[in-house]
Amino acid sequence: MHTNVDALFSGLWQDYVKITPSADKIHDLLGDKSGQSDIVNDHIALRTFNLPKVGIDKLAQHLLNLGYEAKGDYDFEAKKLSAKHFEHSDLTKPKVFISELRVEEMPEKVQNIIHKMIDQMPEDAVNQTDFLYSGTHWQVSSQDYKTLLEHSEYAAWMSAWGYRANHFTVSVNHLKNVKSLEEVNQILKNAGYKLNTSGGEIKGGKDVCLAQSSTMADHAVAKFSDTELTIPSCFYEFAERFNLPSGELYQGFVAASADKIFESTNAK
Ligand code: NI
């Protein structure tokens, strides 16, 4: 496991930009041109399955070792997902949102494909230093991918991309030249980016102390056991945080908004 938070995020970022080429271009669009970068990462998101070998707690161990603590719990009933978020005592470090698919709530054929994937992983794979950005640990056919896609966009995405940051998030609060999430969205649309409009371009708002938007995922070539397919990979998110009544900046997430953000990797 990593012994340094920045080394972990550097590994995650290098892996993420390989299949998310938009990310660097978006930095150029939003960032301050004059000097030190004002692009601050609010959080990343990781996905997994609620199986003993790879559940949230297994992924979280990488973060707990680095001084992170579990904070919020979330439930996404329709998508059959549970999630937790983790914060570092040093609030300048990015937060981490980890979700897991409740496999037993899926149809049997979906369960069988997922078990077939996870059974191919060595028991201790989850402990390797780079596990959180190690991609897939299995062979899956394009037909199985399509079967998963019919029942869970999330499961299908996991079968193709595995363990890696599903998105990074620009903290709008830290941008010097862009004042609001509305302005971020306008800049992205002017540059030709497609935003996730599920639940509206902006999810949440000042009333829940967090406003979020995201691009629709880039497309990249995923390798299956029989062929390659060009499918949605990862996306970029934008978050504007507001103060709680106590005067402290809200650090949590909003389930209703996160529910829509998941759809940024939808293939259909
Ligand atoms: Ni997010």
**Per-residue pLDDT tens over the stretch 180-234:** 999 999 999 999 999 999 999 999 999 999 999 999 999 999 999 999 999 999 9
**CA 213–ligand 1 middle distance (angstroms):** 9
119: pLDDT strictly greater than 70: yes
Name residue 219's amino acid: H
Displacement of CA 42 from its chain's centroid (Å): 12
**CA 151–ligand 1 middle distance (angstroms):** 22
**pLDDT at residue 87, as a whole number:** 98
Alpha helix locations (H) across the chain? 5-19, 22-30, 56-64, 108-118, 142-151, 153-161, 181-190, 255-261
Do residues 250 and 243 make contact, with C-beta atoms less than 8 angstroms apart?
yes
Pseudo-torsion of CA 104, 166, 88, 62, nearest 10°?
60
| Residue range 74-85, pLDDT digits in tens | 999 999 999 999
DSSP code string of 23-81: HHHHHHHHS-SSSS----B-EEEEEEESSTTTSHHHHHHHHHTTTEEEEEEEEETTTTE
Residue percentage of the chain with pLDDT more than 90? 96
35: pLDDT strictly greater than 80: no
**CA 69–ligand 1 middle distance (angstroms):** 18
**CA 200–ligand 1 middle distance (angstroms):** 16
**CA 138–ligand 1 middle distance (angstroms):** 26
Q: Residue 2 — pLDDT band, cuts 50, 70, 90?
A: confident
**CA 257–ligand 1 middle distance (angstroms):** 9
**CA 169–ligand 1 middle distance (angstroms):** 6
| Residue range 127-166, pLDDT digits in tens | 999 999 999 999 999 999 999 999 999 999 999 999 999 9
**CA 93–ligand 1 middle distance (angstroms):** 15
Q: Which of 266, 221, 233 is nearest to 22 (CA)?
A: 233
**CA 27–ligand 1 middle distance (angstroms):** 17
**CA 164–ligand 1 middle distance (angstroms):** 14
**CA 115–ligand 1 middle distance (angstroms):** 27
- How many Å apart are CA 114 and CA 136, to the nearest integer? 12
| Residue range 36-68, pLDDT digits in tens | 689 999 999 999 999 999 999 999 999 999 999
**CA 222–ligand 1 middle distance (angstroms):** 23
**CA 45–ligand 1 middle distance (angstroms):** 6
**CA 253–ligand 1 middle distance (angstroms):** 8
**pLDDT at residue 239, as a whole number:** 98
**CA 227–ligand 1 middle distance (angstroms):** 31
